[in-house]
Structure 1
């Protein structure tokens, strides 16, 4: 079995997204005790701005990178699931702990993450094809 750092070096796009998700979830739970204003502000910036922007950029880079088309389009599903799980492990989990109501991951969160990833991937594929024609 190869060391973790070697496995992460082979998949830099997945590594970057995984590291972002890890820190996003961790920082969210640190802001919970700081009060609702801090938590709401953090959630807005991290999950409404940073997560979709990172998803679009990483998908764009995946589209420009040579490789199998099936692997690139599998990233759309992965990023959709990742975006949905970000909400599940942050706001949904906090709601379950505070209010006692459990909400499973929502399809709309998955679809939004997948849409942003598909858009970034399509732009990356177009940029790659334009680069080939020059």
Structure 2
């Protein structure tokens, strides 16, 4: 993300209030951080095919996590045992918890009306990582 000075902000976003401009930049930054977190998921909890960045929905089928893409294809985790918990309905989970052999854990939270979830194709609102 490039830095803009006040003149550039005024010129680029004329007709918008400063609050709207700030909200827009905060939203862009949040989306950028979410995309970086999805890339971290790709490294710690890879899918058999594709990237978490391209997933439009997640579905829990018994103890398996299925990831669906925009073209209708689906895949699972390379190691299905990485899925250790879900909250909510299996077709629309509220959160998923993943843990790998190195002790890395990730919690993926979904919220359609959340600050990130409303603009994310899979409605991911937050991804948090920790070591256990």
Do both share a fold (TM > 0.5)? no
Greater helix share, 1 or 2? 1
TM-score (ref. length: structure 1): 0.27
Q: Relative contact order, CA 8 A, sep 6+: which one is greater? A: 1
